[in-house]
A and B are shown apart, each in its own frame.
Chain A
């Protein structure tokens, strides 16, 4: 809902013709990733909080290996994020008349960025689940952790839109590396977060 509301608000207030053509690739990339990141943060933050509030977290702790719980939550979050991207990205392109010169590279940035975003928000969601000031803590932890990924993905989408040679696809490589590092670190750290 947040994603749809933001997308409509952005497309109505900015539209496709209010921005200079030369500035569009960069500004559209920024807007797209702001919508995607904040939609992900608003939805995925609740993946562990829901277990905590429902009182099911202890039964899960008594039943499943911590890594299995983390991977299950990650899979759910990635599926949700994938559905969100499938809905938001085409609508954004359509509503904003977003011209993309390298569609393959653009799709790769969206997918790899989504993977990194999902991995980052899942471990942060686990960390804040038991805190009393969840909202503030989630923002404070997300900012430094997700900022490098956001900057990389914005740059990648801008390059895909402008059509600068994408030889090597560095932004995709960085986002995939971020995803791998996040997963590895999370699998090592999650058992500590999961315990009291």
Chain B
């Protein structure tokens, strides 16, 4: 059983304080929404949890069956979607999935990649170059990339960004299915996305 324990996290850039003393614990089935004004640090908080940014204070603990997971192994437990994350434009959607399978060392084959592409509704475009994708299709592919290794922790930064109504349904399904196998943290100002969550942290308060 995977658990996430965030305790006393704070972040400042120089003299500018983004947030401080953020603490929460998530267990399987939990969905947490992070809200706040633009620039309040929602994305930064998710990046800190993912291990992409060092916090100025506090720590992020990940545990599997109560055993702490070392930092270098955490990437296997985390899937992330964010506007700033991009996939390779010079590869097709399917090639991107196969590439990330290989670099992750995940035991997945072409059919697994096609399954995940199908799940986000990109089957017809799987062999198209990503540079030819619309921004909504790229967002769907980012979702597929985040789900590829079936992570217990899903970090979704503005997951509905650029998506049409069908794409938003896909996000809703993903968050709902994630409750069975893990947990999600959603950073968004959309009320619709905050409604997926059981708890909300507002960084503007």
**Which residues does A use to contact B, with CB under 8 Å?**
54-56, 58-65, 68, 191, 195-196
Contacts and interface: CB of A to CB of B under 8 A. Distances in A.
A68 B99 CA distance: 13
Given A58-B84, A68-B103, A63 B54 contact: no
Given A54-B86, A56-B87, A62 B80 contact: yes
Contacts, number: 46
A63 B52 contact: no
A60 B84 contact: no
Interface of B: 47, 50-54, 72, 75, 78, 80, 82, 84-89, 100, 103-104, 145
Nearest to B73: A65
Given A54-B86, A59-B87, A65-B72, A196 B104 contact: no
A196 B50 CA distance: 12
17 contacts: A58-B47, A58-B80, A58-B82, A58-B84, A59-B85, A59-B87, A59-B100, A59-B145, A61-B51, A61-B52, A62-B50, A62-B51, A62-B52, A63-B104, A191-B72, A196-B52, A196-B54
A100 to B, nearest CB: 40
B86 A56 contact: yes
A191 B51 CA distance: 13
| Those 3 A-B pairs whose CB atoms lie nearest each other, nearest first | A55-B86, A64-B103, A63-B103
A191 B72 CA distance: 9
Contact of A56 (B52, B88, B104): B88
B89 A54 contact: yes
A58 B88 contact: no
A58 B87 CA distance: 10
B89 A62 contact: no
Contacts of A56: 85-88
Contact of A58 (B52, B72, B100, B104): B52
Nearest to A195: B54
Given A56-B86, A61-B52, A64-B104, 9 more contacts: A55-B84, A55-B85, A58-B52, A58-B84, A60-B103, A62-B52, A62-B75, A62-B78, A64-B75
Contacts of A58: 47, 52, 80, 82, 84-85
B97 to A, nearest CB: 11
B144 to A, nearest CB: 12
A101 to B, nearest CB: 46
Contact of A63 (B75, B84, B86): B75
Contacts of A64: 75, 103-104
A183 B107 CA distance: 29
A62 B73 CA distance: 10
